[in-house]
Amino acid sequence: MDRIFVRLLPAIVLCAVLFSFQVVCAEDNGETIQSVVGVDTLPHVVWSFPSLLNAHGTDEIDYDMDATQFTSYEANVRFNRFHTALGLSAVVDDNVVGEVDRYAGYIAVKNIFIRYSQGKIKGTADWNGSLATGMAPAIAYDHDVRSYEINYMFNDNGPDKAGMTAGWYVGMGYTTMTVPIEIHTMTTTGGKENQIYGVPVYDDAFEVTAYCAQFGFDTMLGDMAKGRVKPGDIKFFAHAQDTLGFGQGTVSPESAAWAEELNPGRTFMNKDSFIVYLQNDSTLGFFWAPSLLRGHAVLALGYNLNFSVIMSFSGGASDATELGYDASFGLLRHGPQFRAYATW
């Protein structure tokens, strides 16, 4: 029982602090946060591994990435069926993000918004480097990208304070993705200060998991939550979010074995590495509130640009018997975004 309490204590304390902060802010400005639920979708997402975000380049791998769909669901009310239908328990089961979500639902703080995002990285790639036993010169991949966020939207100074000052928030989240990347191996004749690159391999299923902290603003969501949308409104909106995360990257056993074969006499180091995750997500566009719906719903169209960088700190080889590696990479995602939100 004591161990369970200790595991849940951070989530309980965080929710209690947010609830207290919400009460104080509400008393200061008398503003009521409305219930909001919405969906954002990018029906034609273009993915790439640009050289600007990949310090080592993608020397031996040529990508042909398919356009896919990327969708986010957002709400500041807890719908149990909503969570179950989206499979959220599978994303944050048995971790602190899931515990915070549960307790936030119990205390019903409407300033807390949940956001679940899902998409796919899909396509083919040609490998131009050396081949180990079992390595194919061409690969196909179809992997999931998922994130779950809990964000706290700040109150401001009242219903007249709209525009770029509306909708600021901070939060925490959990991100998982599987990506096809080039693994840059590292060798040494002695000492970590004498690293040289060995023979690289690919990993068509490199796994990334990260706990994240994020902050940003969404002027459309802020206006809706604060009741500032009027029937017939057509407004410009901006959304931007910066994310910093820490977690783990995992090289597949097959790729580790290929690396050892192509770099004989050396043993692949720990397949799990510490990673730092950086992301920026931005959208600019316009939203419209149909008069028929009396300001309780909006439709929006914008363009989304997202880039993420994963820095892998796997470490170099310490001596001639070890095989180090670097699995760092950067991703760019962009495309038109449609948004549909309702409030009551």
**pLDDT band at residue 7 using 50, 70 and 90 as cut-offs:** very low
Q: 68-126 pLDDT, tens per residue?
A: 999 998 887 655 444 444 444 444 445 555 555 555 544 446 688 888 899 999 999 99
CATH of the domain at 172: 2.40.128.100
Q: How many domains does the chain have?
A: 1
Average pLDDT over residues 176-193: 90
Residue 94's φ and ψ, nearest 5 degrees, are 60, 35
- Structural tokens at position 215: 């902050």
What pLDDT sits at residue 56? Answer: 66
Phi/psi for 74 (5° steps) reads -140, 140
Residue 150's pLDDT is what?
87
Residue 185: phi and psi, rounded to 5, are: -80, 155
Domain that holds residue 96: 2-343
Region of poorest pLDDT, from 28-42, 91-105, 192-206: 91-105
Local structure of residue 16 (DSSP, 8 states):
H
| Predicted local distance difference test score (pLDDT) of residue 194 | 85
Average pLDDT over residues 123-142: 95
- Other Cβ atoms less than 10 A from the Cβ of 64: the count is 10
**Contacts of 64 by beta carbon, 8 Å cutoff, 6+ apart:** 123, 124, 125, 126
pLDDT category at 47 given cuts 50, 70, 90 is very high
- Residue bearing the bigger pLDDT, 292 or 263: 263
If pLDDT is split at 50, 70 and 90, which confidence band does 226 have?
confident
Query: Which band of pLDDT confidence, cut at 50, 70 and 90, is reported for residue 193?
Result: confident
Give whole-number Cα distances, 318 to 58, 190, 321, 323, in Å: 25, 7, 8, 8
Residue for token digits 């009521």?
Answer: 32
pLDDT in tens, 312-342: 987 788 898 999 999 999 999 999 999 999 9
Range with lowest mean pLDDT among 53-62, 113-122, 242-251, 252-261: 53-62
Per DSSP, the residues of 222-272 read HHHHTT---TT-EEEEEEEEEEEEEEEEE--HHHHHHHHHHSTT-EE--SE
Alpha-carbon gap, residue 178 to 67, rounded angstroms: 17
| pLDDT value for 144 | 94
pLDDT score at 264 = 95
For residues 216-243, give the mean pLDDT: 92
pLDDT at 294: 82
